[in-house]
Amino acid sequence: MTSRHPEVFERLAEQSEEFLSGWAEKEKEGLKTFKRVWRLKELAYRPIEEFPDLALRFRLFEEWLESDGLELAGSPLTRYQMEEISAALEKLKLFLPRTSDSAETASSSDQLAQLAEKFVARLSGAETRRPAFFSKADHPPAGGEHSGDGSASLGTSRDKPPASSDLSEDFQKLLSYELEYMRQYRRPGEHPLSVIGRLLDALSARYHLADEVFVAHLLYFLQAQNYPVGPYLEKFRKIKERAKAK
Amino acid sequence: MEETAQLLYYQAIEALLKKDFDTAEVFLERARRKPGFSHEAEIAYTALQVRKEAMKQKEVYKV
């Protein structure tokens, strides 16, 4: 049996290493993006006990905006990454009022909110460069990406897939997105109501048709199971109304 | 911050970029036990297993 020759195994090991090195090269850009988002998340989620110097936190955030943030705004991002960034920014914005109420801190809070808005505007710019309603997917598939200018909209042509696309296929992509989200991004033991809560937060920050359909599916399912979905439904309606008004 | 499958995957990628295959395997081994272990991570992990087995067999048949 030829495979008993050690050189055959040596070749196989070398080929595996070549494959893995190529794989890592291919993932280099993803790694950069991941690190940039990670640094923002560290600024947003690091507890006050560990990092009490708020002025330093803001300064680092400002630096992040000018370096990593700028790079991110110019790169294609997945819907999930957008959601992570939005959540981190929301967390940063909420940080100060929860931890201090001094005048100085309040002023810093305003400054931070402005910076965050500035960054979101940049991200919107990045999204305009994203090509299609169903753009190339990473994690999870970007089932509901906007085709247009990155602004929230509902029931307008900007939210619709290109005329040539197949509606059934688009619907299947939405379902795949929901399935992958539940498989990969639902936290262990997280109740579907909590998933709805997270999706609603994401929808408030940035409107996506895929998330709207996803929330609607979950709400309908839970309602059929006699769960009290009233408050979620109400919030969902309000978010939709706001999106329509834009 | 929480050690996620995604974080471990990218730590493995960093190790692979330095050709440190053993460390990459350790990260992916840990990532496998986390929710959200991706298809990409599974592919890289499988390739690392192939490499490890090939190295092992090479030593066995060298003797």
Contacts with A89 (C-beta within 8 Å, 6 or more apart), sequence order = A40, A44, A116, A119, A120, A205
**In chain A, which residues have their Cβ closer than 8 Å to the Cβ of B36?**
184-185
User: Are the CB atoms for A196 and A231 separated by under 8 Å?
Assistant: no
The pTM of the full predicted model, rounded to 2 decimals, is 0.55
pLDDT the model gives residue B29: 94
DSSP letters along A71-120, please? Answer: HHHTS---HHHHHHHHHHHHHHHHHHHHH---HHHHHHHHHHHHHHHHHH
* Nearest Cα residue to A69 out of A13, A14, A115: A115
pLDDT the model gives residue A50: 84
Is the pLDDT reported for residue A146 higher than 50? no
CA gyration radius, chain A: 22
Give the rounded distance of the alpha carbon of A11 from its chain centre. 41
Compute CA distances A34 → A23, A137, A204, A244, whole Å. 16, 15, 24, 33
* Nearest Cα residue to A92 out of A70, A110, A104: A110
Do residue B19 and residue A30 have CB atoms under 8 angstroms apart?
no
Rounded-to-integer distance, Cα A185 and Cα B35, Å: 8
Is the pLDDT reported for residue A150 higher than 60? no
Return the H-helix or E-strand segment holding A235.
Answer: helix A230-245
What does pLDDT average to over chain A?
73
Do residue B19 and residue A6 have CB atoms under 8 angstroms apart?
no
User: Are the CB atoms for A95 and A44 separated by under 8 Å?
Assistant: yes
Of A16, A46, A185, the CB nearest to B54: A16
User: Are the CB atoms for A6 and B55 separated by under 8 Å?
Assistant: no
Is the pLDDT reported for residue A15 higher than 50? yes
The pLDDT tens digits for A222-244 are 888 888 888 889 989 988 888 87
The pLDDT tens digits for A56-67 are 888 898 889 888
Quick check: A18 contacting B, CB < 8 Å?
A: no
- At A104, which amino acid appears? E
Do residue B54 and residue A9 have CB atoms under 8 angstroms apart?
yes
Of B36, B59, B62, the CB nearest to A184: B36
pLDDT the model gives residue A14: 95
Is the pLDDT reported for residue B13 higher than 80? yes
Residue contacts between A and B (CB atoms, under 8 Å): 80
